[in-house]
Structure 1
């Protein structure tokens, strides 16, 4: 490669990086605006209901009627299920300042499935700390990671989990009890050999590291595979 070609490749890479960053920022901005808009829509719905107009004019069919009219005006995205989620969203976060920053609308809908306020606050914090996508957030909720961590803590420790997430200050705090490895899809009809288990873990390495949480790194097979970074 000639010096000119090398410089051109560098130029191309720099432009590519700029484009990717701009696209990522645009997606984040769109997500923020969508979450904000849905919060405002939820506020309008709840305030309408609280003023008694829902009972007087629409009865219990408000959300269905609203869904139909919004779809006619603005197209997809306003199904009754979504309108219900928007309403629940506002009822759960009645102050905009309480809405966790950096999370998408899909994250928020997933969090609405957690009825316990303390647990939900934990998942909010942990999603940001661990940079969980909504699918990983859903998996962690279904695997009861908060409940597993809370088992080893007193009331003060549980509240700390909700306020700050799972912050590891000692290697023993990196261990969950138990680990949920359902994504390995191990057969239940017979015992699994150590070699087969190791291969399953390597085949699903990303999911396994996510389940281990912060503080672990993959070193390599047969060297002990995982170690804490603390």
Structure 2
């Protein structure tokens, strides 16, 4: 048996438009929250790598090993390549203040943060562009 769907009237059309807008807004809000969490995670990983390298004298090769081990344990996660882990380390070095990371750079996509690190060596200039 077929269920008849009522013809859309003005009330239905406006409800549909409102629901679609709410769905889009919620999806965008979720994507921004995920990005912020990922940037904060990257910063903390970079900070830990820097700390261990300083305290224990680890060299750059540890990043290759970490990439291999993390990639094996989290095969579905992108962003754990040796190249990206080097960017993550550089990110933590470029932005040592956690408050700045949370307030400013965590709101930027990862690719923009990488560009800031690559193109701007002056920390004040990086912060200016991050704002």
Give ranges in structure 1 of 5+ residues lacking alignment: 126-230
Partner residue in 1 for 2:3: none
Structure 1 counterpart of 2:108, from 103, 122, 132: 103
Partner residue in 2 for 1:49: 53
The change in CA–CA distance for 1:72 and 1:35 in structure 2 (over 3 A counts) is: same
Partner residue in 2 for 1:92: 94
The change in CA–CA distance for 1:49 and 1:16 in structure 2 (over 3 A counts) is: same
Partner residue in 2 for 1:116: 122
In the alignment, structure 1 residue 61 sits paired with structure 2 residue 61: yes
- 1:71–1:77 CA contact under 8 A, matched in 2: no
Structure 1 segments (4+ residues) deviating >3 Å: none
Partner residue in 2 for 1:78: 80
The Cα RMSD (Å) is 1.5
- Name the CA distance, whole Å, in 2 between partners of 1:23 and 1:7: 24
Alignment of 1:56-205 (within 5 A): 59-75=59-75, 76-99=78-101, 100-101=104-105, 102-113=107-118, 114-125=120-131
Aligned residues: 118
**Higher share of residues assigned helix:** 2
The change in CA–CA distance for 1:23 and 1:39 in structure 2 (over 3 A counts) is: same
- 2:94–2:123 CA contact under 8 A, matched in 1: no
Give ranges in structure 2 of 5+ residues lacking alignment: 1-7
- Name the CA distance, whole Å, in 2 between partners of 1:46 and 1:26: 30
In the alignment, structure 1 residue 6 sits paired with structure 2 residue 10: yes
- Which protein, 1 or 2, shows the higher relative CO under an 8 Å CA cutoff with sep ≥ 6? 2
Encode CA deviations 1:78-119: one digit per residue, 9 max, x unaligned.
111100000001111111112215212222111111112232
- 1:35–1:105 CA contact under 8 A, matched in 2: yes
Larger Rg: 1
- TM-score, normalised to structure 2, is 0.83
- TM-score, normalised to structure 1, is 0.49
The change in CA–CA distance for 1:60 and 1:29 in structure 2 (over 3 A counts) is: closer
